[in-house]
Amino acid sequence: MGLGFERTDLGREIAALPEGLARERLQEVDRAVRRARKKKPKNDDASSGPEEEPDGDPDEAGMWRETLLARLHRLTPDAFEQFVLYLLRSQGMELKRVGGSGDEGVDGIGTAPVGSVLSTTVAVQAKRYEPAKTIGRETVALFQSDATAAGAEHGVLVTTGRFSEAARSAARDRHPTIDLIDGEALTDLCLQGGIGISHSPVVDEGFFDRFEAL
């Protein structure tokens, strides 16, 4: 996945897995949450307490990704930049925010660890877009130019939207290379790190089937 969190037991478990297995584990967690929500009994007694607001629970009706992206999109652009920097600092990056005139399209600048000895200078840009909006090659190319002007050797572009194939190609093939984090990857990172999401114990019923044949 490139970006990993180790703030929770679940995060440490997933971070230790190879990328493919880590994504499968995240999908398992997603499916388990959806099953738990479907099994959760509804309280029809309106007098028992105030009705829970859907936005208060990121897993409501199994739509936690959409709820999380909607909540992030409601942040102001400045607040979203602060959130992105917090997210990246949580995995060991040392970043300072760059704002106001003269930031050259760079929202954060600092260093990111490369192994246990080396580090690299990294520029960060946050794009708080509609989740359905697609970011094209031009935006990535412009950020690459701005990152170079800021003296960065690498870049991270984070959005609540998505990236076109041309944008992904430019991010890989042009210097400096850019790590692209779209809305889906952003929600995966939040789930993995327990950032803005509450994990509840969920019993995996199917796990125990393997012992019936022993």
* Residue 214: inside a domain: no
Give the integer Cα–Cα distance in Å for 1 and 183.
14
DSSP state, residue 206: G
Q: Residue 146: what residue type?
A: D
> Could you tell me the pLDDT band of residue 198, with boundaries at 50, 70 and 90?
confident
The total of structural domains in the chain comes to 1
The answer to whether 146 and 123 have CB atoms below 8 angstroms apart is yes
Closest to 22 (Cα-Cα) out of 4, 42, 48: 4
> Could you tell me the pLDDT band of residue 49, with boundaries at 50, 70 and 90?
very low
- H-state helical runs in 16-136: 19-39, 64-73, 77-89
Helix (H, G, I), strand (E, B), or coil: what is residue 118? strand
Interacting residues of 162 by C-beta distance below 8 A, sequence separation 6+ = 131, 132, 133, 134, 135, 182, 183, 184
* Residue 72: inside a domain: yes
* Residue 207: inside a domain: no
Structure tokens at 181: 């984090």
> Could you tell me the pLDDT band of residue 52, with boundaries at 50, 70 and 90?
very low
* Residue 15: inside a domain: yes
The pTM (predicted TM-score) of the whole model is 0.67
CATH number of 149's domain: 3.40.1350.10
* Residue 213: inside a domain: no
Q: Residue 60: what residue type?
A: E
Range of the domain at 65: 1-41+49-199
The answer to whether 102 and 83 have CB atoms below 8 angstroms apart is no
The pLDDT assigned to 7 comes to 43
What is the Cα Rg of the chain in Å? 20
How many degrees, rounded to 5, is the angle at CA 107 between CA 88 and CA 115? Answer: 35
Pairing of the two strands 108-114 and 154-159: unpaired
The pLDDT assigned to 206 comes to 83
* Residue 165: inside a domain: yes
Give the least confident one: 30-34, 104-108, 116-120.
30-34
* Residue 103: inside a domain: yes
Rounded to an integer, the average pLDDT of 56-80 is: 80
More confident residue, 85 or 56: 85
Return the percentage of the chain with pLDDT > 90, whole number: 50
